[in-house]
Amino acid sequence: MMLKIGITGGIGSGKTTVCKVFELLGVPVFYADDVAKSIMHTDPILKSGILEAFGQKSYTQSGELNRSYISSIVFNDKHELEKLNSLVHPAVFRAFDTWVLSQKEASYVIKEAALLYESDAYKMCDQSILVISPIETRISRVKARDGISAEDIQLRMNRQFSDEQKMKFADHILNNDEKQLLIPQIIQLHQQFLMIGS
Ligand code: ATP
């Protein structure tokens, strides 16, 4: 069985940056949040589930997801959001399983997910990595990257577990505080995973 490593971290922690380094080391990375977005347009089982749950307006005539309609339904309604997640999450798990089977040459693979612990996706991984950075650093990074306000960033943070909560689940911690060197920490983990995976 292929070794599967989950990576997560709060908004602006640098998890995607970390994944890009793993990719440079030749490790295949599955970006679960990107896949979740794209399969809403393409996975027939998921599409029919969404149509059944949210009605014909969920898709345009040409079969594209009506994202603004779906967002308006789930935005302020926890129950509707849970309903959508209960359709999307299993579809992402299916896509991940299929993707893993196609990674025949790899010693191990990585799954990046913002809500790895919140969504239970970590249970499908053998080990997990948490990327941490100080809150102020995360806020200034996301401000610079996305041009959004500190208040909006704080709202997004409130929807995720805190780092303290996430640390209880994590097998490995990468400290991306811009003081400790990041790449040597990544290479050390890479070597560990190569030993287990081979
Ligand atoms: P999100 O959950 O919002 O997608 P993320 O955890 O994937 O965030 P990244 O996109 O990797 O975070 O990083 C956020 C921003 O901070 C990016 O613009 C990235 O280039 C920058 N960044 C990350 N780590 C560092 C670092 N060590 N030094 C300088 N800039 C960094």
Residue 19 is predicted with a pLDDT of: 98
Residue nearest atom 23 in ligand 1 by C-alpha distance: 14
pLDDT at 162 over 80: yes
**Inter-residue contact 158 to 38 (CB < 8 Å):** no
Residue 32 is predicted with a pLDDT of: 96
Å from CA of 122 to ligand 1 middle? 21
What is the fold, at CATH topology level, of the domain defined by 1-28+108-198? Rossmann fold (3.40.50)
- Domain 33-102 bears CATH identifier 3.40.50.300: yes
pLDDT at 62 over 80: yes
Residues of the chain with CATH 3.40.50.300: 1-28+108-198, 33-102
Our mutation pick for probing the ligand 1 site, out of 11, 15, 17, counting the most ligand atoms within 8 A of Cβ, is 17
Distance linking the first and last C-alpha atoms of the chain: 11
Our mutation pick for probing the ligand 1 site, out of 24, 141, 153, counting the most ligand atoms within 8 A of Cβ, is 141
Q: Is the CB of 49 under 6 A from ligand 1?
A: no
Residue 99 is predicted with a pLDDT of: 97
Q: Quick one: which atom of ligand 1 is closest to the CA of 112?
A: 7
pLDDT tens, position by position, 113-148: 999 999 889 999 999 999 999 999 999 999 999 999
Å from CA of 13 to ligand 1 middle? 6
Q: Once rounded to an integer, what is the mean pLDDT over residues 42-65? A: 93
Q: Is the CB of 32 under 6 A from ligand 1?
A: no
Task: Average the pLDDT over each of 5-19, 20-34, 58-72 and give the range with the smallest value.
Answer: 58-72
Helix axes 67-74, 78-102, angle to 10 degrees: 130
pLDDT tens, position by position, 175-187: 999 999 999 999 9
- The 3 state secondary structure assigned to 57-111 is HHECCCCCECHHHHHHHHCCCHHHHHHHHHHHHHHHHHHHHHHHHHCCCCCEEEE
pLDDT tens, position by position, 69-89: 999 999 889 899 999 999 999
Å from CA of 50 to ligand 1 middle? 32
Q: Is the CB of 16 under 6 A from ligand 1?
A: yes
pLDDT tens, position by position, 40-49: 989 999 999 9
Alpha-carbon separation of residue 183 from 88, 97, 98, 116, 146 (angstroms): 33, 29, 30, 22, 24
pLDDT at 198 over 80: no
Q: Is the CB of 13 under 6 A from ligand 1?
A: yes
Q: Enter the pTM of the model.
A: 0.93
Å from CA of 11 to ligand 1 middle? 8
Alpha-carbon separation of residue 87 from 51, 56, 105, 126, 131 (angstroms): 11, 16, 31, 24, 28
Residue nearest atom 1 in ligand 1 by C-alpha distance: 11
Residue 76 is predicted with a pLDDT of: 81
DSSP code for 123: G
